[in-house]
């Protein structure tokens, strides 16, 4: 991973957690899904495939070509796995204050309902400082299934699809054998 990749990974994990992916249900549905993240800049467009796992205990894992992010809400940890260097960086988030709640000036505003793969979704949008963020949440899954960020000269869309409702293999939430494990402090809050 590049130096900025762990920060990007934390932002993605925090976005997923902060938008109710786990908080929507006490016992979230166990599932697996494919992820496609598309980045658009003035230089062109690039799509990156990935995979998403969530256990009924609330552990999540996201795999991408850059590595994996394992989030354990109960333990308060985010683990970044780098398969190229066989390193695992464990960031302890326990005791960290939750992200600030949206204020009236930057609240997410519902604008439409729809469906994705037979799951009813609620669509919300937030606009501020020349940037628009859109989240589509499937209430039955307790999960953001599509997110979009559009800013000047940059756009990112992240979509989960091909859902399979079953408990993933518990091994996907473990640090693989042979990895060097380091602890890291949480990043400073903005």
Residue 154 makes CB contacts below 8 A (sequence gap 6+) with: 39, 40, 41
Q: Which tokens hold the place of 40?
A: 């658009």
pLDDT tens digits, 65-112: 999 999 998 888 999 999 999 999 999 986 655 555 555 555 677 777
Burial tier of 135 (Cβ tally within 10 Å: 0-12, 13-18, 19+): buried
User: Which option is the CATH number for 5-184: 1.10.10.10, 2.60.40.10, 2.50.20.10, 1.20.1250.20?
Assistant: 2.50.20.10
In 3D, which of 50, 132, 35 has the Cα closest to residue 124?
132
pLDDT tens digits, 140-174: 998 999 999 999 999 999 999 999 999 999 999 99
């Amino acid at each position: 991973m590049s130096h900025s990749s762990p920060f990007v990974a934390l932002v993605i994990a925090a976005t997923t957690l902060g938008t109710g992916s786990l908080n929507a249900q006490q016992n979230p549905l166990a599932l697996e899904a494919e992820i496609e993240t598309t980045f658009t800049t003035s230089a062109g467009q690039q799509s990156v495939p990935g995979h998403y796992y969530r256990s009924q205990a609330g552990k999540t894992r996201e795999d991408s070509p850059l590595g994996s992010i394992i989030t354990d809400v109960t333990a308060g940890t985010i683990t970044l796995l780098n398969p190229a260097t066989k390193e695992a960086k464990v960031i302890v988030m326990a005791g960290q204050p939750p992200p600030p709640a949206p204020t009236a000036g930057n609240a997410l505003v519902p604008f439409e309902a729809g469906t994705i793969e037979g799951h009813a979704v609620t669509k919300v949008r937030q606009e501020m400082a020349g940037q628009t963020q859109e989240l589509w949440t499937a209430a039955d899954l307790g999960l953001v299934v599509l997110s979009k960020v559009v800013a000047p000269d940059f756009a990112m869309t992240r979509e989960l699809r091909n859902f399979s409702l079953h408990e993933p293999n518990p091994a996907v939430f473990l640090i693989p054998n042979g990895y060097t494990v380091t602890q890291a402090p949480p990043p400073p809050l903005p």
